[in-house]
């Protein structure tokens, strides 16, 4: 158990203590006690930066289930460290922000911090685990804690809807991912990511390579809100704003990005991987930015913006994977720039998106609304917030001198480079990549402008606001201030990050492109000359300005899009019809009628037994020696068959009972003829008792609707009955002919007197040789009698009729019948 393990588990352990702080120290906001955890963890991970930069990779294992190759292996490399820093750093800021955002007394803040710490620990576990199954476990824990956090205000229907939706979609992806991991295990025989990368030659070209890739990608796409699984993210905005800032912009939605980056060494180099990751990323990018423009809720704009930016990062990872195809050559250097852009934009996005969410939270907190139609002119009331929003939005739109500009330029570079790719059929469709990227950037520019200018400039509408807005307290402003200053610092001095964070992270994503001991040389230039990219950016700004200014003219276009074809409608309808069809399907065979169930049971019995009988060719007709049929047996069989056949045709029930009794007494006679006196005695008495009980039941039948009609003929019942009879007869005959060994009865006959001192073999078997059966049989009798006693004497039903009805929602035939008998 190393310090690294402890770092992962610390939030979980600390979460146990949180409710006690809330209970015993009510004067202080619980968040202050939580704050040290991410702060200390952040400090710890910062202290690991020089080590990791030097190429050192920390690895330590705690045995969990060694027999199944499941060990909790913590692994710290460049990629994991970058994510760990994001998680803990933004985590600390979000906790600080939430202290001022959530009221100390109004909210259940202990639950909030327990969930948040749980999420933090799970997220650290995801990015620092080397074992795929452990990674999966933490992955599902992030889904679970996200579910809890989205539904934090669980009295609201929309929160519950959003939480359920995100749970269904991410867990669906999680299961797919698990299946992909299992396929990887089947191929390589290990769950360790490092060892899988080490045995790449087995994986590549394996028949399961593509299924494993698709399943893993499904997990990554659902978690990272990629098209068409992005629909859960806008609904997850029902969560408190600190949660949206933390989970749904900076960390959890990047788990999918992390997974793609982590799995790049395994899958990259294949055309499917390139096209899927790039293509889905680009579709998500353009669809997200396109949809963001029409939103009127600030958080919805940010949600779609997050979707779009995640698509951007995803597509960059896809483009970067082309480098793996070329391996250690000069050409690959061209494409590694895409990976560099992905890693850089990942950090940038976390900074400005986190800040923007906090800004929106402040606006919401100070004005009571997030609807841009009600907001406007807030610049005079909240100048600091406006500054933050301006910087964050400009960075998001990709304007200089902020960090978003740099990553956007690098994105354009990567998109243009990919066009030169001579593999994967890029030459035909490749032109679409930069075009899509450019168009999406235009929309990104438009919604970024909407976000900041519709909120803070324009006409102030006091009549639409419930409270008079004013600047937020310092505590709410401090966390976005930190993030905004990072936006500027990373924008002006990007190389702070390049050597320490980005290079080791790239080394983890593309290990096959490095000679041992080598590192990627990353130098991000703020100004790169009059290149194509700069003209593209100028084009984005020009067209974006035009579109923003003419927004009223063309935004009506969104209303014309068919509402029925949206993915949300598809999802809602899908759930609705799934529910309805499942319901119908179940109702169609769960009729509640015992008669139907008996028909199912008997039909399956006929089919399965019949199939086995004929399939294994076991049908036999008697061939061996058989005992002769005496005249008594012949006559008794005739009488018994006649009595049994008469039962269904009996007009009254008494006749039927008497006929059944007759069959029973003939069986007694059979026992006599076949020399079984004990059986004959018992059969006679038991038959008498059961006929008496039948008559008793008959006597107590309700007077209402007493039908004396004989049974109606039903062809289905007849066929089932005939089938069961035929099958059982066939089995009996076949079994009789295939006797595999001699019987044990000789032993009983010989041993009865010598071993047990009794001459009645039947009785000796019952009480001595197999006394255990008898013991349990008399126990069965005892239980039966107690059951009858309880049924008659206790009569819960009569005392409390409601209790009998709760089992079924409506009074069906069965309960009426029960009531009738007890009356």
Residues of the shown chain interacting with another protein in the complex, contacts defined by CB under 8 A = 677-678, 681-682, 685-686, 689, 693, 696, 756-760, 762-764, 766-768, 771-772, 774-775, 778-779, 781-782, 784-786, 788-789, 792-793
| Between 188 and 752, CB nearer to another protein | 752
| Between 9 and 767, CB nearer to another protein | 767
C-alpha separations of 95 from 87, 124, 152, 280, 281 in Å: 12, 16, 15, 33, 31
**Gap between the Cα atoms of 275 and 282, Å rounded:** 10
Would you tell me how many other CB atoms lie within 10 Å of the CB of residue 664? 18
CB of 814 to another protein, least distance (A): 21
CB of 1 to another protein, least distance (A): 49
In this structure, are residues 320 and 415 in contact, taking their beta carbons and an 8 Å threshold?
A: no
CB of 656 to another protein, least distance (A): 21
Residue 639 tokens read as 């009488």
**Gap between the Cα atoms of 247 and 244, Å rounded:** 6
Residue with tokens 């029973």: 664
CB of 770 to another protein, least distance (A): 9
CB of 716 to another protein, least distance (A): 36
| Between 598 and 775, CB nearer to another protein | 775
Q: Can you list the alpha helix ranges (DSSP code H) found in 561-652?
A: 567-589, 594-615, 631-646
The Cβ-side half-sphere exposure at 474, using a 13 Å CA radius, reads: 0
| Between 431 and 781, CB nearer to another protein | 781
End-to-end CA distance of the chain: 70
**Gap between the Cα atoms of 194 and 191, Å rounded:** 9
Q: How far is CA 391 from the centre of its chain?
A: 37
In this structure, are residues 350 and 254 in contact, taking their beta carbons and an 8 Å threshold?
A: yes
CB of 711 to another protein, least distance (A): 27
CB of 631 to another protein, least distance (A): 25
Name the 3-class secondary structure at 76: strand
CB of 786 to another protein, least distance (A): 7
Contacts of 438 (CB under 8 A, 6+ apart): 412, 415, 536, 539, 540
**Gap between the Cα atoms of 204 and 187, Å rounded:** 10
Burial 177-194 (b: 16+ CB within 10 A, else e): bbbbbbbbbebbebbbbb
Residue 283 tokens read as 């579709």
| Between 543 and 695, CB nearer to another protein | 695
| Between 208 and 766, CB nearer to another protein | 766
CB of 757 to another protein, least distance (A): 4
What kind and span of H or E run contains 62? strand 58-65
| Between 32 and 789, CB nearer to another protein | 789
Would you tell me how many other CB atoms lie within 10 Å of the CB of residue 475? 14
Residue 818 tokens read as 């029960």
What kind and span of H or E run contains 59? strand 58-65
Residue with tokens 């929602």: 809
Q: Nearest-CA neighbor of 565 among 287, 306, 310?
A: 287
| Between 703 and 759, CB nearer to another protein | 759
| Between 111 and 763, CB nearer to another protein | 763
CB of 774 to another protein, least distance (A): 6
CB of 782 to another protein, least distance (A): 5
| Between 19 and 751, CB nearer to another protein | 751
C-alpha separations of 490 from 107, 302, 497, 776, 790 in Å: 36, 21, 8, 80, 80
Residue 344 tokens read as 């850089």
CB of 612 to another protein, least distance (A): 37
| Between 368 and 677, CB nearer to another protein | 677
Contacts of 756 (CB under 8 A, 6+ apart): 764, 768, 769
| Between 419 and 681, CB nearer to another protein | 681
Q: Across 220-295, where does the E strand assignment appear?
A: none
| Between 228 and 758, CB nearer to another protein | 758
In this structure, are residues 441 and 288 in contact, taking their beta carbons and an 8 Å threshold?
A: no
Name the 3-class secondary structure at 493: coil
| Between 401 and 782, CB nearer to another protein | 782
CB of 637 to another protein, least distance (A): 24
CB of 654 to another protein, least distance (A): 19
């Amino acid at each position: 158990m190393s310090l690294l393990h402890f770092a992962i588990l610390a939030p979980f352990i600390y979460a146990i203590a949180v409710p006690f702080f809330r209970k015993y120290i009510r004067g202080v906001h619980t968040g202050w006690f939580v704050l040290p955890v991410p702060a200390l963890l952040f400090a710890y991970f910062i202290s690991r930066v020089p080590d990791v930069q030097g190429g050192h990779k920390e690895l330590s294992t705690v045995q969990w289930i060694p027999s199944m190759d499941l060990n909790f292996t913590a692994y710290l490399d460049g990629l994991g460290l970058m994510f760990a820093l994001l998680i803990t750093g933004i985590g600390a800021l979000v906790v600080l922000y939430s202290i001022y955002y959530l009221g100390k007394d109004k909210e259940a803040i202990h639950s909030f911090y327990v969930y948040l710490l749980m999420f933090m620990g799970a997220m650290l576990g995801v990015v620092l685990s080397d074992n795929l199954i452990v990674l999966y476990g933490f992955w599902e824990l992030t889904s679970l804690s996200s579910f809890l956090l989205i539904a934090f205000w669980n009295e609201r229907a929309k929160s519950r809807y959003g939480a359920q939706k995100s749970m269904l979609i991410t867990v669906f992806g999680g299961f797919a991912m698990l299946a992909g991991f299992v396929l990887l295990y089947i191929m390589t025989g290990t769950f360790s990511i490092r060892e899988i990368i080490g045995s790449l030659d087995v994986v590549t070209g394996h028949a399961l390579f593509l299924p494993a890739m698709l399943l893993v990608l499904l997990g990554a796409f659902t978690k990272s809100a990629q098209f068409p699984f992005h629909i859960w993210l806008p609904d997850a905005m029902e969560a408190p704003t600190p949660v949206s800032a933390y989970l749904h912009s900076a960390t959890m939605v990047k788990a999918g990005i992390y997974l793609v980056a982590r799995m790049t060494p395994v899958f990259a180099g294949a055309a499917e991987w390139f096209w899927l990751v790039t293509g889905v990323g680009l579709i998500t990018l353009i669809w997200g930015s396109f949809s963001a423009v029409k939103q009127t809720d600030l958080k919805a704009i940010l949600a779609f913006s997050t979707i779009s930016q995640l698509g951007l990062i995803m597509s960059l990872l896809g483009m970067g994977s082309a480098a793996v195809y070329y391996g250690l050559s000069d050409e690959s250097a061209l494409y590694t720039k895409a990976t560099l852009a992905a890693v850089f934009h990942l950090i940038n996005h976390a900074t400005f998106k986190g800040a923007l969410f906090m800004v929106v939270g402040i606006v919401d907190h100070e004005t009571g609304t997030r609807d841009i139609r009600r907001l406007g002119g807030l610049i005079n009331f909240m100048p600091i917030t406006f500054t933050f929003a301006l910087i964050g939005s400009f960075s998001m739109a990709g304007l200089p001198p902020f960090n978003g500009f740099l990553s956007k330029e690098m994105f354009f570079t990567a998109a243009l480079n990919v066009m030169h790719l001579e593999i994967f059929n890029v030459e035909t469709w490749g032109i679409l990549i930069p075009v899509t990227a450019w168009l999406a950037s235009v929309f990104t520019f438009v919604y970024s402008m909407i976000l900041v200018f519709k909120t803070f400039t324009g006409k102030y509408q006091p009549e639409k606001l419930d409270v008079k807005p004013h600047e937020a307290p310092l505590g709410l402003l401090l966390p976005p201030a930190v993030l905004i200053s990072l936006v500027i610092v990373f924008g002006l001095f990007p190389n702070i990050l390049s050597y320490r964070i980005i290079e080791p992270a790239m080394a983890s994503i593309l290990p096959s492109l490095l000679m041992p001991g080598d590192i990627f040389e990353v130098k991000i230039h703020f100004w790169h000359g009059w290149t194509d990219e700069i003209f593209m950016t100028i084009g984005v700004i020009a067209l974006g300005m035009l579109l923003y200014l003419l927004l009223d003219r063309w935004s009506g276009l969104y209303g014309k899009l068919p509402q029925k074809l949206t993915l949300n409608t598809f999802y809602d309808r899908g759930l609705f019809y799934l529910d309805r069809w499942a319901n119908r399907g179940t109702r169609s065979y769960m009729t509640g009628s015992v008669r139907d169930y008996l028909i199912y049971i008997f039909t399956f019995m006929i089919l399965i037994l019949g199939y086995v009988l004929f399939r294994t060719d076991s049908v036999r007709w008697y061939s061996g020696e058989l005992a002769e049929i005496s005249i008594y047996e012949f006559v008794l069989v005739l009488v018994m068959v006649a009595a049994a056949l008469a039962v269904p045709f009996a007009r009254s029930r008494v006749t039927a009972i008497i006929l059944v009794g007759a069959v029973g007494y003939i069986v007694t006679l059979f026992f006599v003829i076949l020399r079984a006196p004990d059986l004959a005695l018992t059969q006679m008495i038991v038959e008498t008792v059961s006929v008496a009980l039948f008559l008793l039941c008959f006597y107590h039948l309700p007077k209402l609707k007493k039908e004396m009609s004989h049974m109606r003929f039903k062809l289905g019942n007849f066929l089932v009955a005939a089938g069961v009879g035929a099958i059982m007869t066939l089995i009996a005959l076949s079994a009789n002919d295939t006797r595999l060994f001699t019987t044990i009865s000789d032993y009983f006959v010989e041993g009865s007197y010598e071993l047990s001192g009794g001459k009645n073999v039947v009785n000796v078997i019952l009480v001595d040789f197999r006394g255990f059966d008898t013991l349990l049989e008399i126990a069965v009798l005892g239980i039966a009698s107690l059951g009858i006693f309880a049924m008659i004497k206790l009569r819960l039903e009569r005392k409390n009729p409601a209790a009998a009805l709760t089992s079924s929602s409506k009074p069906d035939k069965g309960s009426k019948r029960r009531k009738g008998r007890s009356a």
